[in-house]
Amino acid sequence: MNWSDRIAPTVKAIPPSGIRRFFDIAAEMKGVISLGVGEPDFITPWHIRESCIHGLHRGYTSYTSNYGLLELREEIAKSLHKDYQVTYDPRQEVLVTVGVSEGLDLAMRALLGPGDEVLVPEPCYVSYKSCVTLAGGTPITIPTNVENEFRITAEQLEEYVTPRTKILLIGYPNNPTGAIMSREDLEGIAAFALKHDLIVISDEIYAKLTYDGTHTCFSSLPGMRDRTIVLNGFSKAYAMTGWRIGYAVSNVDFIAAMTKIHQYTMLCTPITAQIAAIEALKSGEKNVEHMVSEYNYRRRLIFNGFRQMGLDCFEPKGAFYIFPSIKKTGLTSLEFAEQLLMTEKVALVPGDAFGESGEGFVRCSYATSTKNITEALERIGRFIESIKK
Amino acid sequence: MKELLECLEKDHTQTPDQLAIMLNKPAEEIAALIKKYQDEKIIVKYQTIIDWEKAGVDNVTAVIEVRITPQREVGFDAIAERIYRYSEVRSLYLMSGGYDLSVTVEGTSLKEVADFVSTKLSTIDGVVSTTTHFMLKKYKFAGVIINDEEEEHRLVVSP
């Protein structure tokens, strides 16, 4: 029996993750320095962990409302208002999700019908396209380039918009490029969304990790609140990746539709994570500041290192990734990553794992110690010298 | 420059060049600042934190609560100086509350510390009383967890 024939065609058509194969090789090797990790190297701050333990002691082990604990939704609404002056009703316009990943899936499933098109600027997070496809939509990818610091512009989007376009999906600060969009940049996108009557899904999971200027929440732009679904969470800012907790905010109808799917598929986000998230929002700011300044030191260190190596590299302004071009070496992204891993035992992720326009680049995460960064830079420098010969 | 001092407090082995990159300042400026902080004794000393227990070296530490009679004009300072000049004294703080000075004393044996308290510390003029607490275990020192068992559990590569 060939069981693979029974798998749904949509699922079958999705290519395997470009990162997966690489992970399997790297995981087996000893002495690897990894710049390939897409999560903080900090452990969740103790006060957050402690609040979860305390919650368990007090017997918080039940289901919660499908929307999530009201206290958490209130804290989310409060923090969005404080940071971006955008207002959401915690009772109807906030949904606590199992990370941004679930939020994205819910948003796509709630909004897309067959043939609906979603504009997806690339390079982008690995799940964007697949989420669209799994929800029955068609992803239309738009390459961004290093010359424009991997930002997207309305002019570019105009080339790809059709009468079937329903959603624009953006993710800034960006994984894998570290690009950010200024308020002015985003205003251009907002005007484009308005002109074509598009819904905007804005993945802002790296919002707090912005090193140059301040982050603008897309829904805080005039006229954008109701046509935007903002996805955010606790993974990156509070070092809570494994807790799997995030949230979606939007208008009442979108959140109700997403909650309908959430209640039948997930029911609710684990209460343990929700309790921890309340503590994170109530008193986590100092720790966030500390982590941001640490990432910023490392960002400068790794950026300087790549520049000294002679690699073309734009200065990342957000998240914890740097995306140097390796075109000068004459290798493809995959060849570069594989040969570097084999000869110098440094793991990083080939840029094409994040879309075709990522080819010729590699993603390096600087969510690791300065000692590791320094050692990795030394090894990469040695590797580049060796292939010149 | 608070950031520089924080970086040095965490790890003083970082070179001025590396600190300059991390703090986005010229290397000469960082080197000059470090020298200035050293000259002005803002940077008092560079020290290493050692887990002596793990190193197999026996040590006894006691925290001693000391009550003293403050003296005219010099208050607590003169007596404090007579105490902190002893090499056995590792730290000394003037405290609010039920006693005046908190003295940390280190020795190689219980007897050595006890002798110091009875023959040196309590005989100083102005010392009214002492209460000695021997330390049983050191969990955290200077912001560092001594035997930190937290490990990294991240995958080698993740999206």
Architecture of domain A46-284: 3-Layer(aba) Sandwich (3.40)
CA–CA min distance B43, chain A (Å)? 21
Residue A124: closest C-alpha in chain B: B159
Question: How many whole angstroms separate alpha carbon A5 and alpha carbon A274?
Answer: 40
Q: What is the CATH number of domain A3-44+286-388?
A: 3.90.1150.10
User: Measured between alpha carbons, how far is residue A251 from residues A25, A67, A91, A95, A354 in Å?
Assistant: 45, 14, 11, 11, 30
Residue A175: closest C-alpha in chain B: B159
Q: State the first-to-last Cα distance of chain A, in angstroms, to the nearest integer.
A: 52
Question: What pLDDT is attached to residue A269?
Answer: 98
- With 0-12 / 13-18 / 19 or more C-beta atoms within 10 angstroms meaning exposed / middle / buried, residue A198 is buried
Question: How many whole angstroms separate alpha carbon A246 and alpha carbon A348?
Answer: 26
Nearest to A278 by CA among A52, A43, A42: A52
User: Tens of pLDDT along A228-278?
Assistant: 999 999 999 999 999 999 999 999 999 999 999 999 999 999 999 999 999
User: Residue B104: which residues within 8 A CB-CB, separation 6 or more?
Assistant: B61, B62, B63, B64, B89, B90, B91, B92
Which three-class secondary structure state does DSSP give residue A375? Answer: helix
Largest CA distance in chain A: 65
A216 neighbors A182 (Cβ within 8 angstroms)? yes
Nearest to A123 by CA among A291, A329, A324: A324
A112 neighbors A167 (Cβ within 8 angstroms)? yes
Residue B24: closest C-alpha in chain A: A300
Question: How many whole angstroms separate alpha carbon A56 and alpha carbon A53?
Answer: 5
Which three-class secondary structure state does DSSP give residue B45? Answer: coil
Nearest to B18 by CA among A384, B10, B144: B10
**Domain regions of chain A by residue span:** 3-44+286-388, 46-284
Which three-class secondary structure state does DSSP give residue A243? Answer: helix
Q: With beta carbons under 8 A apart, name residues in chain B contacting A22.
A: 157
A219 neighbors A86 (Cβ within 8 angstroms)? yes
ipTM for the predicted complex comes to 0.87
Question: What pLDDT is attached to residue A263?
Answer: 97
Specify the DSSP element, H or E, that contains B29: helix B27-39
Name which of B21, B150, B156 is nearest A34 (Cβ-Cβ): B156
- The amino acid occupying position A154 is A
Can you read off the two tokens belonging to residue A314?
Answer: 């734009």
Task: Say whether B21 and A301 touch across the interface (CB within 8 A).
Answer: yes
Q: With beta carbons under 8 A apart, name residues in chain A contacting B159.
A: 17, 19, 38, 125-127, 175, 349, 353
Q: Could you count the other beta carbons within 10 Å of the beta carbon of residue A61? A: 10
Q: Could you count the other beta carbons within 10 Å of the beta carbon of residue A41? A: 20
Q: What is the pLDDT tens value at each position of chain B, 159 positions in all?
A: 899 999 999 999 999 999 999 999 999 999 999 999 999 999 999 999 999 989 999 899 999 999 999 888 888 999 999 999 999 999 999 999 999 999 999 999 999 999 999 999 999 999 999 999 999 999 999 899 998 988 888 988 888
Can you read off the two tokens belonging to residue B93?
Answer: 């703080």
Question: How many whole angstroms separate alpha carbon B68 and alpha carbon B94?
Answer: 11
User: Measured between alpha carbons, how far is residue A51 from residues A88, A282, B98 in Å?
Assistant: 26, 11, 33
A50 and B CB contact within 8 Å: no
Question: What pLDDT is attached to residue A16?
Answer: 81
Question: What pLDDT is attached to residue A180?
Answer: 98
Name which of B7, B24, B157 is nearest A23 (Cβ-Cβ): B157
Name which of A39, A43, A293 is nearest B158 (Cβ-Cβ): A39
Question: How many whole angstroms separate alpha carbon A169 and alpha carbon A160?
Answer: 13
User: Strand (E) positions, A183-251?
Assistant: 199-203, 228-233, 246-249
Name which of B3, B24, B158 is nearest A37 (Cβ-Cβ): B158
Task: Say whether A41 and B154 touch across the interface (CB within 8 A).
Answer: yes
Name which of A22, A37, A297 is nearest B154 (Cβ-Cβ): A37
A171 neighbors A207 (Cβ within 8 angstroms)? no
Give the mutation candidate from B6, B154, B157, B158 for the A interface (greatest A CB count, under 10 A). B157
Q: Which residues of chain A have pLDDT under 50?
A: none
Question: What pLDDT is attached to residue A26?
Answer: 86
Task: Say whether A127 and B159 touch across the interface (CB within 8 A).
Answer: yes
A204 neighbors A110 (Cβ within 8 angstroms)? no
Q: What ranges in chain A are assigned the alpha helix state H?
A: 9-13, 18-28, 46-57, 70-84, 99-111, 128-134, 154-158, 183-195, 252-265, 271-283, 285-309, 333-344, 370-388
Largest CA distance in chain B: 68
Question: What pLDDT is attached to residue B99?
Answer: 97
Question: How many whole angstroms separate alpha carbon A363 and alpha carbon A380?
Answer: 13
* Interface contacts A/B by beta carbons within 8 Å: 58
A46 and B CB contact within 8 Å: no
Question: What pLDDT is attached to residue B87?
Answer: 95
A167 neighbors A199 (Cβ within 8 angstroms)? yes
Question: How many whole angstroms separate alpha carbon B92 and alpha carbon B84?
Answer: 6
Q: Do domains A3-44+286-388 and A46-284 have the same CATH topology?
A: no
Q: Which of residues 266-295 of A touch B (CB under 8 A)?
A: 293
